Structure 1
Amino acid sequence: MTEKRFTSSGIEIKPVYKGEGSEQPGEFPYTRGIQADMYRGKLWTMRQYAGFSTAEESNQRYHYLLKQGTTGLSVAFDLPTQIGYDSDHELAEGEVGKVGVAIDSLKDIEILFDGITLQNITTSMTINATASILLAMYVALAKKQGADLKQISGTIQNDILKEYAARGTYIYPPSPSMRLITDVFEWCSSELPKWNTISISGYHIREAGSTAVQELAFTLANGKAYLQAAQSKGLDINVFAKRLSFFFNCHNNFFEEIAKFRAARRMWAHITKQLGATDPSAQKLRFHTQTGGSTLTAQQPLNNIVRVSTQAMAAVLGGTQSLHTNGYDEALSLPTEEAAKIALRTQQIIAFESGAADTVDPLAGSYFIEELTNNIETAAQIYIDKIDAMGGSVKAIEQDYMQQEIAASAYQYQNEIERGERILVGVNKFVDEEAHLTDVFRVDDSIRIHQIEKLKQLKEQRVQRDVDLLLADLRVAATGSENLMPHILRAVEAYATLGEIADVLRTVFGEY
């Protein structure tokens, strides 16, 4: 039993408030939350997203965040890593370490997590096309640390469908990409049972300009496609669906965002049940939230602290399991240490000072919230039915349906801003003539030279014959139908690079 909670006036706060016959948290269809006690039992994970420059520099930021009280790591990778190129590739020029950390081999992962025991921390990795390779590197390091792989926990984003629909960091065509994803599902179910094998992501769909309803609909439709792909491979939904998680955006419309999260849980519970899930853990939608990057303004950037605070509060009131809060300066650059600390303190103030965590689903029963939840569900279901009629998400993406819907919404939003029909404080109303922030974070282009030197040393020190044999084995396996994860793991353990492994798969699968 959790300890009693009181308001500042000494009034006792019950764990749950409900009307007669109303839904109970922790019970199907989970509109009010996936746990009966929610944050009374355990707070959300405060997972700050970080990664830039070299593994050495990112490692220092991780140690800083852990000292400030972050409870989970979240790794951002640079663009070459995301699309399967080593730092010495000609296409990597100008991009190494810019939007995330550069990872070329297991050696970089060893440096990235130096001084961090993987068994004692949960790690989320925002990587998709090369997710299987990065997961293999993480597992290889855990093995070197002597970890029990059955206890390793974290999340790999591994969501390629939203890359085709909204973000663009894909490598291979949809069919072999889906194979890699289901290979990760299958391998982790036996080797890494506590690992979340996919984070089905609406975040980037929203960043590309979708509405809240489109974000919800397209994300759940993609989730449904992953369930069906895994089932077609013979996997048991009651096993693998427990390890699926979601990643949502949280924007400025406070009540719409809360209702979106409530509707998401209810809709996913029904989708999984329709596809045969009978285990409650396989029916529950667990999700991470990040505040809206595209809502941040370069004008009057300190206003972003308020935006991030209200978005974070909406995510908490909506029942998120994990939360990242953006730095106020991220419209200008990667966050400085000061901005990252304020972002983390925002979560800590909500958790320990606001009272939002004292009772489950505090806004349940509000006429507005309940009707808005129903309206969002109805509107999202219309989209899902349309996608189902097309043959599912893969077909809808191939027909450019999702992309066109997102683009139309983004265009409408921009027009509303420019016509003044939608107010953006500091941008089209309450505008100041002001000095810009001067303390912004910059990544030096010289780090590419550093990464190239590390690659050169690595190739001189590794046993090249072993690497060649293991890459040849991977190529043969890719032409067949066996699970590729064991082959990728053996290759990274021999210090084959990310680019070498991705290139082997390019020769077999082709590029999209």
Structure 2
Amino acid sequence: MANTKREKLFTEFPPVPTEKWEEVITADLKGADYERKLVWKTGEGFNVRPYYRAENLEGIRFMGSRAGEFPFVRGTHAHNRWHVHQTVKVECPKAANEEALKLLNAGVDSLGFCIAAESFSAADLDELLREIRIPAVELVFSGNRMADVAELVLAKLEKEGVAKEEAHVSFCIDPLVKGLTQKGTFCSPNGEKCFGRIADLIRRTAGYKHIRVVTVSGHIFSNAGSTIVEELAFALAAGHDYLVRLQDAGLTVDEAARKLRFSLNITSNYFMEMAKIRAARLLWANIVKGYNPAKECAGKMFLHAVTSTWNQTVYDPYVNMLRGTTEAMSASIAGVHSLEVTPFDRSFEDPGEFSKRIARNVQLLLKHEAHFDQVVDPAGGSYYIENLTQSIAAEAWKLFLEIEEKGGYTEAYESGFITERVKASAAAKDKAIATRRQILLGANQYPNFNETAGSEITRAVVERPAAEGNTLAPYRGAMAFEEMRLHVDRSGKAPKAFMLTCGSLAMARARAQFSCNFFACAGIKVMDNTFFKSIEEGVEAALASKAEIVVVCASDDDYAEAAPKVKELLAGRAILVVAGAPACTPELEAQGIMNFINVKSNVLETLKYYLKELGI
């Protein structure tokens, strides 16, 4: 009976071929350009269609594989259980231990220890790990003198007789990415000393299946402004360089690959980040396979993810919680070994107990209430996600091969190729933010009108660090706007922009809202008004408000008469701005009206101009 009903239902809805969809879309566009209106030209080097169908999966070679099967697109295991990771800064081992014990009772099962002190002894390690059962938790060490710390940790494991299969430890030793991007050079000629010591640590940990010696810090590229494709390609190239160097040191590809850990950034590009993680597993599996490992599982990518700092804002900072949540969703849906959600206040202060709690609770919600850990690769089979995965993989592989043609990661980096690529991508992103083609909520769009910077927001927090020589410096995309706004907040002045709404009510209100958001991005106090019945009434109210800027908000048809009249009545007592780009602009400019703001404006440069005019 049920089958009969189902058959009848589907006979009522016959399949619609793609050609019919395209005919309807073309008709709805009414002559508008299909490519310009509907095709997303990403910054990753490929275009995204407005829709995808089953036929778009044809030719995707990795389709049909399961989680835990080569090439591991759908995951390295047949489950989606990730570790909730949180990092503790270690300045005082005793205090760090106390914090770590609290985290273990709050849902964290992957502890990160960032060694900030210049010296760190065996006694310090004992104090740091006091009452922490090593087999019960994953440990990740980063920070200063990592090779020395690794020696101390291994000595402790041996001394305490921890079973080799029960030690889950990773070290963030990374001379290729972290070392080169921060210093521009190795600690020894061609890194021979560094890689010799890494090879020794790998040999020493040969019996420890769950110890990772090297962490490829791919997140560094993303936080310096790279694209998603660049972050992935550069991380893979660095990982491959490690494989080559470690095999040259006498290790097998299996021994080397099993000791690598990758750390990638997760931005707010929701679906693209899911696809990136899936593509990362695919490409790494094929890179390792090229060396004919003894076991196929050597190509499983051991992947840690951390939510982005590049898109965090210091104004309206609670929005960072929302960013971290969607980013954590991308990572958990795509499947990772471990995940760290960056506390929302990290960009302007040492994270407090509240922000750390919210950060880890994001993951606990995804696990225990959304049950994301009970579904393996839910994005698998999606026409859209599978095509994104294919496109990212293709572009990243193309860039990876370009790096290989230059001699590999080290040669490409030392030649300046990688830093030039990242800096060019960062500059493109900066321009997109300045012109609002890319939105950072609270910074370049929809700012909190009533917010002023607190004492925790200092110039150092909003000033972009310089990258000297062939190095990369992490920064945040909102910094240029934040630096400008902080300058206004600390100027001792309170500039005002008055909205003179007249003419067509609907257009006046729309343009007033646009203009309020525009000027508030610089910390200029906006004075919105519903509507003025006459221009004389509006100008009188504007002058009474003592606003330094008066924005006339009306329809394009109203401006030819309204703007000159406002200019005449203002008589130079305030800066006159016209909201929009009316056809009569040349006529208005001929009458001395020179200031216009619209959706095509470079918001950052325009606001800087007005602040300069105001003497700020």
One fold, TM greater than 0.5?
A: yes
Question: Which of 118, 126, 151 is equivalent to 1:136?
Answer: 151
Question: Which of 154, 175, 179 is equivalent to 2:192?
Answer: 175
User: What's 2:442 paired with?
Assistant: 426
Alignment of 1:179-328 (within 5 A): 179-190=196-207, 192-328=208-344
User: What's 1:479 paired with?
Assistant: none
The aligned amino acid for 2:89 is G
The aligned amino acid for 2:194 is S
The aligned amino acid for 2:101 is H
User: What's 2:141 paired with?
Assistant: 125
Once the two structures are superposed, what CA deviation does each residue of 1:32-79 show, in whole Å capped at 9, x if it has no partner? 11112x22xxx211111121432222112111111111111111222x
- The structure with the larger Rg is 2
Once the two structures are superposed, what CA deviation does each residue of 1:2-54 show, in whole Å capped at 9, x if it has no partner? xxxxxxxxxxxxxxxx9997222211111111112x22xxx211111121432
Deviation at 1:361, TM superposition (A): 0.8
User: What's 2:431 paired with?
Assistant: 415
CA distance in 2, matches of 1:411, 1:104: 40
Task: Provide closer, same or farther for how the CA distance between residues 57 and 168 of structure 1 changes in structure 2, counting only shifts above 3 A.
Answer: farther
CA distance in 1, matches of 2:255, 2:180: 28
User: What's 2:89 paired with?
Assistant: 51
CA contact (8 A) 2:232 2:276 kept: yes
User: What's 2:70 paired with?
Assistant: 28
1:370 aligns with 2:386: yes
1:338 aligns with 2:380: no
1:160 aligns with 2:198: no
CA contact (8 A) 1:208 1:410 kept: yes
User: What's 2:422 paired with?
Assistant: 406
CA distance in 2, matches of 1:164, 1:240: 19
**Aligned-partner SS, 2:293:** coil
Deviation at 1:144, TM superposition (A): 4.5
CA contact (8 A) 2:202 2:255 kept: no
1:359 aligns with 2:401: no
Of 270-279 and 339-348, more deviation after overlay is shown by 270-279
Task: Provide closer, same or farther for how the CA distance between residues 167 and 23 of structure 1 changes in structure 2, counting only shifts above 3 A.
Answer: same
1:108 aligns with 2:146: no
Deviation at 1:431, TM superposition (A): 0.7
Deviation at 1:365, TM superposition (A): 1.5
CA distance in 2, matches of 1:229, 1:75: 28
**Aligned-partner SS, 2:178:** helix
Deviation at 1:437, TM superposition (A): 6.2
Deviation at 1:335, TM superposition (A): 1.1
* Structure 1: runs of 5 or more not aligned: 1-17, 87-102, 441-512
User: What's 1:71 paired with?
Assistant: 109
Task: Provide closer, same or farther for how the CA distance between residues 378 and 290 of structure 1 changes in structure 2, counting only shifts above 3 A.
Answer: same
**Aligned-partner SS, 2:131:** coil
Deviation at 1:177, TM superposition (A): 2.0
Task: Provide closer, same or farther for how the CA distance between residues 242 and 74 of structure 1 changes in structure 2, counting only shifts above 3 A.
Answer: same
The aligned amino acid for 2:374 is D
CA distance in 2, matches of 1:324, 1:146: 30
Count of aligned pairs between the two proteins: 395
**Aligned-partner SS, 1:295:** coil
* Structure 2: runs of 5 or more not aligned: 1-53, 458-616
Deviation at 1:186, TM superposition (A): 2.1
CA contact (8 A) 1:164 1:397 kept: no
| Identity within the alignment, % | 28
The aligned amino acid for 2:201 is V
CA distance in 1, matches of 2:298, 2:403: 23
CA distance in 2, matches of 1:405, 1:179: 30
Of 265-274 and 395-404, more deviation after overlay is shown by 395-404
Question: Which of 82, 99, 115 is equivalent to 1:61?
Answer: 99
Task: Provide closer, same or farther for how the CA distance between residues 232 and 325 of structure 1 changes in structure 2, counting only shifts above 3 A.
Answer: same
CA distance in 2, matches of 1:402, 1:438: 37
CA distance in 2, matches of 1:150, 1:350: 29
The aligned amino acid for 2:241 is A
**Aligned-partner SS, 1:430:** coil
CA contact (8 A) 1:267 1:377 kept: yes
| TM-score, length-scaled by structure 1 | 0.73
Deviation at 1:436, TM superposition (A): 4.8
CA distance in 2, matches of 1:374, 1:262: 9
Of 385-394 and 258-267, more deviation after overlay is shown by 385-394
CA distance in 1, matches of 2:206, 2:455: 48
Task: Provide closer, same or farther for how the CA distance between residues 236 and 427 of structure 1 changes in structure 2, counting only shifts above 3 A.
Answer: same
CA distance in 2, matches of 1:76, 1:201: 14
CA distance in 1, matches of 2:188, 2:67: 41
CA distance in 1, matches of 2:326, 2:131: 35
CA distance in 2, matches of 1:26, 1:150: 20
The aligned amino acid for 2:278 is R
| TM-score, length-scaled by structure 2 | 0.61
User: What's 2:166 paired with?
Assistant: 151
CA distance in 1, matches of 2:195, 2:256: 15
Of 44-53 and 366-375, more deviation after overlay is shown by 44-53
**Aligned-partner SS, 1:196:** strand
CA distance in 1, matches of 2:213, 2:387: 34
Deviation at 1:193, TM superposition (A): 3.9
The aligned amino acid for 2:99 is R
Deviation at 1:421, TM superposition (A): 2.0
Greater length-normalized contact order (CA 8 Å, ≥ 6 residues apart): 1
CA contact (8 A) 1:225 1:392 kept: yes
**Aligned-partner SS, 1:157:** strand
CA distance in 2, matches of 1:120, 1:332: 34
**Aligned-partner SS, 1:412:** helix
